[in-house]
Homo-oligomer: A and B are copies of this chain.
Amino acid sequence: MRSEDIAKLAGVSRSTVSRVINNYPNVPETTKAKVLRVIEQYQYEPNSFARALAGKRTDTIGLFAISMNEKENATRIYQNSYFAPIVDLVVDTANARGFYVLIHTVYSPGDFQKIKQAFLQKRIDGGILVGTQKDIELVRELVSQDAPLVLIDYDVSEVIAERLNKNHLAIINSMDYEGTAEAIEYLISLGHQEIGILKGRMSTFSGRERYAAFESTLLNHGLTLRQDYVLEGEFLKETAYVETEKLIKRGKLPTALFCSNDDMAIAAMEAFAKHGIHIPNDISIIGFDDTQLASTISPKLTSVRLPIDDMAKSAVEKVIGLCNNEEASFSNVSFPTRLVIRDSCKLIV
C-alpha cells in the first residue's frame, strides 16, 4: 500500500494524500475526510524511508551509551544504576513525543565511528551522548556538521576552551559540586572533623567535581585534609574494597568516609563489616547516586540523589528542540541533587 494507491482509492492525487498526511492547511475538510477514511481503512503508513529521503525528518533520536573503562564489566552497561534509568526516561519521553530511539553502546574508541555513521547515514535527527570519556574530537566533528547533539555529564569549560562550534549543542549536568558540599556539610554538622574520601575516576567530570567539592568544603571549615584518608576508588567496587582494607590496616580511621558513588560505599561497608568495624557506630558512611541498593542494604545508606530523571527528560526535550530549531543554539543546564538521609551516619558527641 503506497500513497499512490490511497490516492486512487480516494479519487485524488498523491500530492493531496501527502498534504493530508502532513496536515497542511490548504486542504478542505471534505477531501481531507475522504482521504483519511481510506487511510484508516487500509491502515496505511507512509514509508519512513521515502519520507526521510524526500526531505522529512526521521523522527528518530540516537542514544549512545559510552563505557570505555576496561575494568568495568563492559557488557553490563544497561544494568548499571546510572544508565538504566537514563534509558528508561529517554525512551519514554521520546516515545511520548512521537520519536523513536536508536540505541547504541560504545565500548571502544572504534565504536565512536558508529555514532558518526548514524548521523552520516541520516538514521537519526539528533543524538544524546551519555557516559564516561566522551571523545572531544568526535564531539568536535559532530558539532561541526551541525548535528543536533546533547551531552550528559560534560565539562562545559572544556567545550568553551576547545572552542567548539556550539550550534545545535546542549549540555546537561547534575550539580555534583553542590551535592557533595551538602553531604560534607552534613557530616560536619554531625560533629565529624576527620573525614575521608573514596575518590571517583578523575578522568570523569563528575569524579573531579565531587573531589573538588570535598576538598574545598573541608578547607572552608578549617578542617585538615589528611592524605592517608584520600583513597583512589575509581568508581569501582573492587578497587574501593581493596583501598578500604588498606585504610583499615593502616590503623587509624577517619570518623566518616564520603564515597564518590554508592557502589564504592557498599564495597567499603563490606570491607568494614569483614573487619568487625560497625557502621555507623565506628565510622559514618555517605554515598553518592542514591541507587536502589542504598535503601536496601543494612544499615540503609545515606546518599546524594542524582537528578537522573530530570536530566534524561531534559536531554530528550533539548535534542527534539534542537532538531526543530526551536531551541537556542547552545544551552547548558544543571539540575540539583538531594541529600537523602538514612542510617549510615552518626552524631558525634
Binding site for B on A (CB under 8 A): 43-50, 52-53, 58, 60, 75-79, 81, 84-85, 87-89, 91-92, 95, 100-105, 111, 114, 116-118, 120-123, 266, 292-293, 296-298
Contact check, A79 vs B75: say whether CB atoms are below 8 A apart: no
Contact check, B60 vs A49: say whether CB atoms are below 8 A apart: no
The interface residues of chain B lying within 8 Å CB-to-CB of A45 are 116-117, 120-121
Tell me the minimal C-beta distance from A315 to chain B in angstroms. Answer: 15
- CB pairs A–B below 8 angstroms (26 shown): A44-B120, A45-B116, A45-B117, A46-B121, A47-B122, A48-B121, A48-B122, A49-B53, A49-B58, A60-B123, A75-B89, A75-B92, A77-B88, A78-B84, A79-B85, A91-B103, A91-B104, A91-B105, A95-B105, A95-B114, A100-B102, A100-B123, A101-B104, A102-B102, A296-B297, A297-B297
Known: A46-B121, A296-B297. 17 other contacts (CB 8 A): A45-B116, A45-B120, A47-B53, A47-B121, A47-B122, A48-B121, A48-B123, A49-B52, A49-B122, A78-B88, A87-B103, A95-B104, A95-B111, A100-B102, A100-B104, A266-B296, A293-B296
Contact check, B79 vs A91: say whether CB atoms are below 8 A apart: no
The interface residues of chain B lying within 8 Å CB-to-CB of A53 are 47, 49-50, 53
Within the complex, which residue of B47, B87, B114 is in contact with A87, where a contact is CB–CB below 8 Å?
A: B87
Of A45, A81, A101, chain B has the most CB atoms within 10 Å of the CB of: A45
Tell me the minimal C-beta distance from A166 to chain B in angstroms. Answer: 23
